[in-house]
Structure 1
């Protein structure tokens, strides 16, 4: 299941990428619930860690492929950028809420993805992920369906360490 979902995620990332010279991603290593990946794009490396939810609510709807990614794009001066990727369009103007322990982070939405609303909070979200056990992500679909996802954070620290020196 994880491998199929990961391959789908890689295809989605490459398809949605505006970088014309992207090559197929390579899985560097799997760390429990998180995989570390890299690919070359426009002469530089892009590295990221990716996981799929352990639980999806409501169970009665088709969620599509859901992922949470933290990427490094040194050529674009982007370091540890968290992103939620949904298998459906998100409600325009809504927020995606990420909660780890008692810490909450708001993400803005565009199409089927979400990013941390205040970029200055990205390091705090990544630190919370490293120190937490589980993460919940709540979103609203374009149809108005409230959705919720649970992610295991087991392996996130090792996966992030693996892409630390992405160049």
Structure 2
């Protein structure tokens, strides 16, 4: 059941992201806040607002393994009724059927389903919980495993997250 839900959600997300990206045009930076940027793409009913950051530290279990872009976003898509969608892109194909684990300040931990190079919360309630923890936290750690079994750990600073989040939220009103 969990895999069916993840597969269905992935198809919906892929269709939404493809349609959104085509309709939005180039994203523009609303503002920068320490380690986070607030961004907006599109206008009117196609507007998408998000915050984005890259990790301050990365660790990889296999020497010489390469990775692509690594980033963390929190997105609002008002036209679809989506707020606080947390997404992590880890820079490699994630092992099929595995989960990514996010933790804020080593205290609260969240399991995310994975597809391709990304990870998402199983439920929008989890997204809201993660965002609340990010607002109160200093660092977020993301752990995942590649198709080849390589383990990674990425640490994102949460400095500036709340200000960037508020700017992105205002931009989508």
TM-score range, shorter chain: 0.7 to 0.9
What's the offset of the Cα at 1:82?
0.3
| 2:163 match: secondary structure | helix
What's the offset of the Cα at 1:90?
0.6
Q: Determine which structure has more spread, i.e. the larger CA radius of gyration.
A: 2
Cα 1:46–1:151 shift into 2, 3 Å: same
TM-score with structure 1 length normalisation?
A: 0.86
User: Structure 2 CA distance, aligned partners of 1:73 and 1:83?
Assistant: 13
Displaced runs of 4+ in structure 1, greater than 3 A? none
Cα 1:87–1:73 shift into 2, 3 Å: same
Matches within 5 A, 1:27-106: 27-40=29-42, 43-58=45-60, 60=63, 61-101=65-105, 102-106=107-111
| 1:163 match: secondary structure | helix
Gaps of 5+ in 1: 1-15
| Structure ranking higher in helix proportion | 2
Q: Deviations over 1:67-96 (max 9, x none)?
A: 000000001110011000121111110000
Counterpart of 1:143 in structure 2 is 148
User: Structure 2 CA distance, aligned partners of 1:87 and 1:41?
Assistant: 29
Counterpart of 1:18 in structure 2 is 18
Contact in 1 for aligned 2:36/2:51 (Cα 8 Å): yes
Gaps of 5+ in 2: 1-15
Q: Deviations over 1:121-161 (max 9, x none)?
A: 11110000000001100000111111100000000000000
Aligned length: 152
| 2:164 match: secondary structure | helix
User: Structure 2 CA distance, aligned partners of 1:95 and 1:41?
Assistant: 34
What's the offset of the Cα at 1:42?
8.2
What's the C-alpha RMSD, in Å, of the aligned pairs? 1.6
